[in-house]
Amino acid sequence: MSFNLPTETIELPSKGLLYPEGHPLSEGTIEIKYMTAKEEDILTNQNYISDGTVLDKLLKSLIVTKFNYGDLIVGDKNAIMIASRILGYGAEYKFKYNGAEETVDLSKINNKELDESLFTKGKNEFTFDLPASDNTITFKFLTQIHEICFYGQGGYSWPVVYDMPLWLRKFTYAKIKDHYDKQSEIMNKKTSNPNKTDIIGKDGKINIPTSMQKASKK
Q: What is the CA radius of gyration of the chain?
A: 24
Work out the mean pLDDT of the chain and round it to a whole number. Answer: 77
Domain map (residue ranges) of the chain: 7-118
Is-contact 157 149, C-beta < 8 A?
A: yes
The pLDDT, as a whole number, for residue 201 is: 57
* 176 pLDDT more than 90: no
> What stretches of the chain adopt beta strand conformation (E)?
7-11, 29-33, 92-97, 100-105, 126-129, 136-139
List, for residues 63-104, the tens digit of each pLDDT value. 999 998 888 888 899 899 999 999 999 999 998 888 899 999
Is-contact 8 34, C-beta < 8 A?
A: yes
Confidence of residue 190 (pLDDT cuts 50, 70, 90): low
d(CA 72, CA 202): 48
In the chain, the N- to C-terminal Cα span, in Å, equals 87
Strand partners, 200: 206
List, for residues 22-37, the tens digit of each pLDDT value. 999 999 999 999 999 9
List, for residues 194-216, the tens digit of each pLDDT value. 555 555 555 555 555 555 555 55
d(CA 100, CA 75): 28
* 62 pLDDT more than 90: yes
Of 100 and 183, the one with more pLDDT: 100
